[in-house]
Structure 1
Amino acid sequence: MNALLGSLVVLVNLVTLCNAHCYIMPNPNTPGDLFNECKDLTGVIHPLNSKWKTEYCEECYCDQDGISCCNIVATPVSYDTSKCQKTFNKETCSFTVVEWKNPGKSCFVGGWVL
């Protein structure tokens, strides 16, 4: 019972902190046209129903309506900013939080926001 209650508390906090940044780029609407590909902002063509990650840490998906993209970076919140610093790794699209004086030591993070 305690495990179930603990899981619910974690889930509620995760949903509360989740605020993903997403956007949609619709395909041009021409009556009768059926799209089998999408063109992203950089001009790259993606096949219908494909998924990819961008260099800006977004996950995108191409469907009949166009491209939808969402940020996949979880940003740390509720940590001791006077003692700790967050560092972004672009290759892994992730933050780490370490002590200012001892960068080899991780800091406690109270939550993450998408």
Structure 2
Amino acid sequence: MQSLFNGLIRHRMRPLLLSFSILALFWPLCDAQCSRTPVSENGCIKRGKLHHVHTVWRTNNCERCECKPEAMVCCSRVLTPTKYNREKCIPMFHKPTCSIRVVKKNNPSAFCRVFSAVG
């Protein structure tokens, strides 16, 4: 009975351990497309516009920026596809949704399957 119970626990823990492993592996990529800029004495300046400390905004070029006391942090909101069929498909930027869609070369209205992306 004890070995059955242990086996059941191990079986149920595998998905949880796998999830934590994947999260730990990809956590460093979360900040991969971010930039940090020093803050002026008045706040953060982005493209000539002043933003006060503790404000968050989105830019026209698909960034999410936050003015923190120590720095202005701007991160891309775009996921870049990395694994897809490069022979039959091409990536196309879609500005209204800040996304890159992978479509068929011979039929741009048909989407291709994407297996992984970074962003």
* TM-score normalized by the length of structure 1: 0.75
Q: How much is the aligned-residue C-alpha RMSD, in angstroms?
A: 2.9
- Gaps in structure 1 of 5+ consecutive residues: 29-34
Residues 14 and 85 of structure 1: CA distance in aligned 2, closer, same or farther (over 3 Å)? farther
Match of 2:85 in 1: 80
Match of 2:61 in 1: 56
Residues 65 and 5 of structure 1: CA distance in aligned 2, closer, same or farther (over 3 Å)? closer
- Gaps in structure 2 of 5+ consecutive residues: 1-11
* Larger RCO: 1 or 2 (CA < 8 Å, sep 6+): 1
Residues 12 and 54 of structure 1: CA distance in aligned 2, closer, same or farther (over 3 Å)? same
Distance 1:86 1:21 in 2: 18
Match of 1:99 in 2: 104
Q: Percent identity?
A: 33
- Which has the greater radius of gyration? 2
Residue 82 of structure 1 aligns to a residue whose secondary structure is coil
Q: Deviations over 1:56-106 (max 9, x none)?
A: 211110122231111121000110011111110122110111111222221
